[in-house]
Amino acid sequence: MDGTMIPPPEESGAAAVPWLVRLPGLFDGFAGDVLASLGAAPVKRLGQEYHWIRLSHPAALRESEASIFLRWNLPLEHAWPCQPAKIEGFIEKAAQTLKAKFGDRAPQGVFVGALHPTSPDRYFRHFAANLRGRLVQLFPEGTAKAVEDQEPDRATLFVLVGKEGLYAGMATPREANGFYPGGSRYIAQHESDTISRAGAKIAEAIHYLRLHRPPFAPGSHWLELGACPGGMTSELLARGQKVTAIDRAPLDPRLAGKAGLTFVLDDVARFEAPPGVVYDAMLDDMNGPPEESIVQVVRLSRFLKPGGVVVFTLKVPRMESVSGPVTLLRETIFNARRAGLHLIARTHLTYNRHEFTLFFEKPPTVS
C-alpha cells in the first residue's frame, strides 16, 4: 500500500472494526491526519496516547506508510467504558468477563497495562498489577509467562485499564508491534554510569527486534557509524557484543581500553573494513541529513555478512505533518533496497524523539 489516503469507513462501504492504537504524544499536532491517512474514523481518545478508532481496512496498520507513527495497535474485542474506581468488585467482574470471553482461545499470556503509563498517580498501575494477578489465576496455561518469554507469533491477551475503563483484545506481539501492552517500555541499560541517552535506544531496539528475529549471538561484531560519545557502544559492549565504532569525534574516556572495542577516529565516508573482516550487524546513529547517512550504510553494507542486520536511526528534520516524514521514509527504504537491503521492521521507540528506527536485513543468499 503506498502513501495514498484510504477512505474512511463511512465512504468505503467496508465493515468497520474497532481498534485501539497508540500514537505518541509527539505527533499530537497532526494526529487527525495520521488517522485519516489510515482510513480510520476516531471514536474516542483514551488515556495519554491511545485512540479508539474504527477501521475499514485493518491491513493499513501493516501496509500504509503512515502506520510508522503508531507505536502499537490492538483489535478492540472488548471495551468497557466506565469509571473502574466507582464500581464495586471491578477487578473480579473484569477478570470473570475476560475469562468468559477469551478463555477458549488459550492466549499464550495475559498482560495488563495502564492507559496513563507515565501518570504520577500510581492507582491504575496497582490496579493493572492486581487485575493481572487475578487473571493469571483464572487463565491456567501459559499466563504466568514473563513478557520476555512470549513467542512473537502466538496470540496474547492484552488489556489496558485507566479512568476511562477497560479495553482488551488478542493479537500476536508481532502484529501488535510490541511485547507489552502499549508497546515497549523502559529497558534497563546495563551501565549504571550511562554515557548518553542513546544507550537506552539501542537496548530498546534490540528488545524490539526480537519480534522479528532471534537474539544476537554473544560476540556478534557490530560496525557503528557515528558513535560519539558512546552510549550505544557502551550498551553493546555490556551485552557481550564486539564493536568497531567510527566517529569524527572521540569517544567518552570511560570507554578507553574496553574489551571488544575498536575505535576509528575518522569520517565514516573514508572507512573501509580491514581485509577479511565482515560484520554481523551495522548501527547508524549519525546526525546530519539522512539522505547522506543511508549512502554510507549502503556503501558499507558490502562488509555485512549475509543475513546481517542494519539498525538505522532515521532522523527527521521536521516532524510537522504526515507527508514529510513519510517521503523521507520512502526514499530511505528505496535507496536501501537498491543495495539489496530489505526492510524488516520500522517503528518509533520510546526513546526516539524526532526520528524513527528502521531495521534492514541483507538477504542470506547475497554475498
Binding site for ligand SAM (CB under 6 A): 196, 198, 226-232, 246-249, 267-269, 285-288
Query: What is the number of other CB atoms lying within 10 angstroms of the CB of residue 243?
Result: 26
CB of 197 to ligand SAM, least distance (A): 8
Q: Name the residue nearer to ligand SAM (CB basis): 55 or 268.
A: 268
- Grid coordinates representing 184 are 515497549
Q: Name the residue nearer to ligand SAM (CB basis): 160 or 246.
A: 246
CB of 12 to ligand SAM, least distance (A): 42
Beta strands 342-347 and 304-315 are: unpaired
Residue type, 248: R
Query: What is the number of other CB atoms lying within 10 angstroms of the CB of residue 141?
Result: 10
Instruction: Report CA 285 to chain centroid distance, whole Å.
Output: 16
| Residues whose CB falls within 8 Å of the CB of residue 88, separated by 6 or more in sequence, listed in order | none
Q: Name the residue nearer to ligand SAM (CB basis): 49 or 247.
A: 247
Distance CA 130, CA 205 (A): 29
Residue type, 277: V
Q: Name the residue nearer to ligand SAM (CB basis): 163 or 207.
A: 207
* Integer CA distances (angstroms), 193 to 75, 190, 238, 350, in order: 41, 9, 12, 21
CB of 352 to ligand SAM, least distance (A): 12
Query: What is the number of other CB atoms lying within 10 angstroms of the CB of residue 172?
Result: 15
- Find the residue with minimal CB distance to ligand SAM: 226
CB of 290 to ligand SAM, least distance (A): 11
CB of 133 to ligand SAM, least distance (A): 38
Which of 34, 36, 35, 41 is CA-nearest to residue 17? 41
Whether residue 82 contacts residue 165, with contact meaning beta carbons closer than 8 Å, is answered with yes
CB of 344 to ligand SAM, least distance (A): 21
Q: Name the residue nearer to ligand SAM (CB basis): 81 or 253.
A: 253
Q: Name the residue nearer to ligand SAM (CB basis): 290 or 325.
A: 290
